[in-house]
Amino acid sequence: MKTAIALSFVAIIAAGCSKQAPDPMQIRADEAALIQSAVAEPERAERMLDLLTQRDRLIEETTTMLRQYRREMKSLNADYDASREIVIEMTDHYNRERAQKQLRFIDWIAQMKAATTAAEWQGIAEFQLANFNPRRLVRGRSRGVPDLPNTMLTLFLLDGGLLGGSMVIPHEVDLVSEGVKLAVDDPTRSATATRILDELKSEVQAFDEIFVDSGNALRDLYLDHRAGSRKILRRLETLNLEWYVSQQRGIKLRERLKLSINADEWAMIFNPD
């Protein structure tokens, strides 16, 4: 359920309201051109371009990890017999992998800032925050998934709330609730399951609010040329703790839901095909 929220900047997809996003390759080209024009010395500009290549490799790695994790968690969640211990083991494993990627990206930010002046960084960082939107690659324009460019850094460093690694976003909780109505004939058990899902939805929404606030804070730290790795890491440590607490609550709610739904009903809800 809301047990796992994955990591990633994911890929360079432009924010905005158009039905068709601009070509990611064009966004990359525009970013490179901006660096070459904004950074005074050619040596530093070349260093910045090398760092963008490093970032793209990290994006590729974390995107692959995110997609694999989401597939594994979706399969595990659909398994009625999957124990709480197995779910915790998988989420803990992912948390450790995510933490490693966080540290690598924080180091990348530090290197980018070190290679630029404050004025150069301001223009580059503003371009990135205005044009990079990580949500669409993994989830597309899913209903209930708004474009929130200010959370770009949180998504890159943590992923959370509304992005693809979570087992359930608010709209998906609603779909599960509809599935309960169709699959569970007993009114008492159906009502119990619905109450549990309402709790789950509240939990998802509560974390999303924390997530967005943290995204705003991380955005400011990203823009601030003087903000070093320690400040970013401290902010993330707070968010990581909130995320862990939300994970554990989601796991408990999954166990409670299993008590009100039998295996056949669970299969109808989570494996409708």
Alpha-carbon distance of 94 to 100, in angstroms, equals: 10
What was the pLDDT predicted at 79?
Answer: 92
The token pair at 251 is 């796991």
Mean pLDDT value of segment 97-123: 92
Alpha-carbon distance of 138 to 153, in angstroms, equals: 16
What was the pLDDT predicted at 74?
Answer: 82
Alpha-carbon distance of 7 to 102, in angstroms, equals: 8
Closest CA to 247 of 145, 104, 98, 131: 98
- CA 171 to chain CA centroid, Å, is 16
Mean pLDDT value of segment 129-139: 55
Evaluate if residue 147 carries a pLDDT over 50: no
Instruction: Kindly report the average pLDDT of the chain as a whole number.
Output: 77
This prediction has a pTM of: 0.75
Evaluate if residue 14 carries a pLDDT over 80: no
* pLDDT tens-digit map of 184-231: 999 999 999 999 999 988 888 887 777 777 777 888 899 999 999 999
What was the pLDDT predicted at 247?
Answer: 83
Quick check: 218 and 153 in contact, CB under 8 A?
A: yes
What was the pLDDT predicted at 238?
Answer: 85
Alpha-carbon distance of 237 to 229, in angstroms, equals: 12
Alpha-carbon distance of 218 to 128, in angstroms, equals: 14
Alpha-carbon distance of 164 to 168, in angstroms, equals: 9
The token pair at 265 is 């009903």
What was the pLDDT predicted at 163?
Answer: 37
* pLDDT tens-digit map of 91-105: 888 888 888 888 898
Domain boundaries, given as residue ranges, for the chain: 24-270
